[in-house]
Amino acid sequence: MRSPNSVLSVRNIGVQLFPRKLDYFLDAYRQATDKPYGYLVIDMHASSDPGLRLRTILAKTKSQRKLQHLLRLTNTDQLLAISEICLNIIKARLKLTPRQKKRLIPYADFVRKMSRIRSEVGARKILNQKRRRCGHVRSIIDTSSY
């Protein structure tokens, strides 16, 4: 956040994209620009790479088999993003509604385990242990929606 003009333009974009989560968006921008040459990518293009739209694809997928296949194809950044979402849930950085909390209660052990993961190998190991049911990943990603 170097100049007031950049802050204002980012705030305007944030209000349009995330009306209820503006503080979260501005915090992400501050964290990204704290480092020299840091940046935050905001993808608003209609024809983006499907690999970048993991949350949208997982939310739409109803078949457990397709969901397992998609989770096997995820890259390191996506797996670590799921781990970070779990950490944010544990640390109460995400404000969850009572309904969201109720949906996550059956997956509390999974959320705790994933929040401790810091590597792709560890994340894949935990996902493979729970491969029988992949609803836990969908619930976690739905919880982090804006």
Per DSSP, the residues of 13-66 read: HHHHH-SS-HHHHHHHHHHHHHSTT--------TT--GGG-HHHHHHH---HHH
Is residue 40 in a domain?
Answer: no
* Whether residue 116 has pLDDT greater than 90: yes
In a domain, residue 41? The reply is: no
- Give the pair of three-digit tokens for residue 78: 């996506």
> Are residues 83 and 30 both part of a single domain?
no
Is 94 in the same domain as 121? yes
Q: What is the pLDDT of residue 48?
A: 66
Cα→Cα distances 88→24, 85, 94, 144, Å? 12, 5, 6, 9
Domain count, the chain: 2
For residue range 44-91, what is the model confidence (pLDDT) as tens digits?
Answer: 776 766 666 676 777 777 787 887 788 888 888 888 888 888 998 999
130 & 71 share domain: yes
| Domain-embedded: residue 16 | yes
Q: What is the pTM for the complete model shown?
A: 0.59
pLDDT digits (tens, 9 = 90+) for 5-30: 677 888 888 888 878 888 888 888 88
